[in-house]
Amino acid sequence: MKAGIESISFYAPHYFVDLRTLARRRGADPDKFLKGLGQEKMGVPPPDEDIVTMGANAARQALTGVDPATIDTLLFATESGIDQSKAAGIYVHHLLGLPSRCKAYELKQACCSSTAGVLAALALVRQEPHKRALVVASDVARYGLGTPGEPTQGAGAVALVISATPKLVALDIEHGSYTEDVMDFWRPNYREEALVDGKYSIKVYLRALSEAWRDYVRQTGRRFEDHARFCYHLPFTRMAEKAHLHLAKLTGHGEEPYETLMAQIESSLRYNRVVGNSYTASLYIGLASLLEGERDLDGQRLGIFSYGSGCMAAYLSGVVQKGYTAHLHADHHKRMLDERVELSFEEYAALYEHHLPTDGSAYETARHETGFFRLAGLNEHKRIYEKIERADSEPAHAEAERKAIAGHLA
Ligand code: COA
């Protein structure tokens, strides 16, 4: 039977920093970030956005035209958790008005937990085809100021409706996997910024790719040439280039022209290049980028590599469904990205340094331009979320926005 992705949408915060600006302030050659890392911009969430509001925004759009009563389970993947006990998905469940019989869990294994959600969702709908699952992946990628990781920050969320009527991509249940205990990237509970051994993490990523691919071949018997396009986990888009050349070499395709190999990944990089890293969401934002960037993928097989530091990796595959272009949210994504506002370096640094209170006091967050949900404040250690009533196409309020950002500079 068929099962897979019926709908996919992502959300990126309304603010970004141009990496040329960051390079100037860090005394780096802009080409190191633009070409060496393959990143142009990085998304910056204001204080009234977090993994819940970003996830709810992505899911709101992905659920357009889907009967919420059919959602059996919400699987929320993140490595930017806001609570050690309560699943962030429960807030999203409430904000979206999902039925009380719909379950909600949070999943963790670095950037790979979104794929754990997808695999669990596939198993669920294959067993009970009348049900749907909603996978939401949402993260804020945050490294120390002035560290090598700083230009690979970003934030965003993606939501996938998984069902037995996959209008976009039918995913195979067979996949390859690989797990190894390594310390390439981690974030102890007491830290807000991740710690990363960057160069080592790239090596482990490539080793995990080899091993997950080998297992995938054992499970499916497929070859490199059976796949028309490839999507990779994207901590920065240049990583996909490294990964794809690595896989091509491993499978005896290393001598193929560079342009031919790059054409197999290029469309998947467009969104991530301007959103930045979004950890659990980044692979699937890449998948949305691919589907929305090419109109003739009907019936084509995709290779999908998921990597989560620490580490766990999975190699998945699926076939793009006939007529998929009619079920995408490309216009919505284009408008969201086009309307974003650029921050100066000082504005970015001020937002970075902003911290929510941890003493339980009542606190109202400044009102920034967000999507349809915002973190209104905190009280007695409880997060308070609110819905924003506005038309889908209502434009951003540029002046009010500038005032809100300036408030953080004061
Ligand atoms: N023009 C073009 N390219 C340039 C350049 C310039 N002026 N200056 C440097 N580069 C290239 C380098 O040659 C290098 O390319 P290579 O990887 O092909 O060798 C690339 O830009 C990055 O430069 P490097 O000196 O390696 O950067 P760095 O030491 O500052 O760190 C990361 C890069 C990715 C390790 C760092 O950003 C990081 O730790 N990121 C977070 C971790 C991560 O994302 N891990 C991935 C696995 S999940």
Among candidates 9, 52, 110, 48, which has minimal Cα distance to 328?
Answer: 9
pTM of the model: 0.96
Strands (DSSP E) found in 150-308: 154-163, 169-171, 176-179, 185-186, 195-196, 229-232, 301-308
List the residue whose alpha carbon is closest to atom 30 of ligand 1.
148
| Distance from residue 386's CA to the centre of ligand 1 (Å) | 40
Q: How far is CA 325 from CA 3, 7, 291, 298, in A?
A: 18, 11, 8, 9
What residues pair up with 146 in beta bridges, in sequence order?
Answer: none
Decide if pLDDT at 209 tops 60.
yes
Decide if pLDDT at 111 tops 90.
yes
The 10s digit of each residue's pLDDT in 147-173 is 999 999 999 999 999 999 999 999 999
Clarify whether 79 is annotated catalytic. yes
List the residue whose alpha carbon is closest to atom 33 of ligand 1.
148
Mean pLDDT of 377-382: 97
Q: Which two three-digit tokens encode residue 347?
A: 């504005």
Other Cβ atoms less than 10 A from the Cβ of 128: the count is 12
Residue 299: the pLDDT is: 98
Residue 402: the pLDDT is: 67
Longest dimension (CA), the chain: 62
Mean pLDDT of 196-223: 98
Strands 132-141 vs 71-77: parallel, antiparallel or unpaired: parallel
pLDDT bracket for residue 406 (50, 70, 90) = confident
The 10s digit of each residue's pLDDT in 242-286 is 999 999 999 999 999 999 999 999 999 999 999 999 999 999 999
Residue 164: the pLDDT is: 98
Q: How far is CA 104 from CA 74, 97, 263, in A?
A: 5, 13, 38
Decide if pLDDT at 396 tops 60.
no
Using DSSP, state whether 399 is helix, strand or coil: helix
CB 144 less than 6 A from any atom of ligand 1: no
Residue 369: the pLDDT is: 86
Clarify whether 233 is annotated catalytic. yes
Residue 101: the pLDDT is: 97
Q: How far is CA 405 from CA 83, 131, 144, 376, 387, in A?
A: 27, 43, 21, 16, 21
Q: Are 82 and 49 in contact (CB under 8 A)?
A: no
Residue 390: the pLDDT is: 78
The 10s digit of each residue's pLDDT in 61-73 is 999 999 999 999 9
Mean pLDDT of 69-88: 97
Q: What angle do CA 360, 402, 49 make, to 5 degrees?
A: 40
CB 203 less than 6 A from any atom of ligand 1: no
Mean pLDDT, the chain, whole residue set: 96
Decide if pLDDT at 409 tops 80.
no
Strands 154-163 vs 301-308: parallel, antiparallel or unpaired: unpaired
Q: Which two three-digit tokens encode residue 215?
A: 């297992």
**Low-confidence winner among 42-51, 109-118, 392-401 (lowest mean pLDDT):** 392-401
The 10s digit of each residue's pLDDT in 301-356 is 999 999 999 999 999 999 999 999 999 999 999 999 999 999 999 999 999 999 99
Clarify whether 225 is annotated catalytic. no
| Distance from residue 254's CA to the centre of ligand 1 (Å) | 22
Q: What is the CA radius of gyration of the chain?
A: 20
**Low-confidence winner among 2-6, 27-31, 162-166, 190-194 (lowest mean pLDDT):** 190-194
Q: Which two three-digit tokens encode residue 306?
A: 């998921």
**Low-confidence winner among 89-98, 189-198, 286-295 (lowest mean pLDDT):** 189-198
Using DSSP, state whether 360 is helix, strand or coil: coil
Phi, psi of 264 (to 5 degrees): -80, -15
Residue 190: the pLDDT is: 94
Q: Which two three-digit tokens encode residue 70?
A: 């059919």
Phi, psi of 230 (to 5 degrees): -130, 135
Pick the catalytic residue from 14, 93, 233, 408.
233
Sign of the dihedral through C-alpha 105, 175, 202, 238: negative
Decide if pLDDT at 397 tops 70.
no
| Distance from residue 38's CA to the centre of ligand 1 (Å) | 9
Q: What is the DSSP string of 93-143?
A: HHHHT--TTSEEEEE-BTBTHHHHHHHHHHHHHHHSTT-EEEEEEEEEE--
| Distance from residue 203's CA to the centre of ligand 1 (Å) | 13
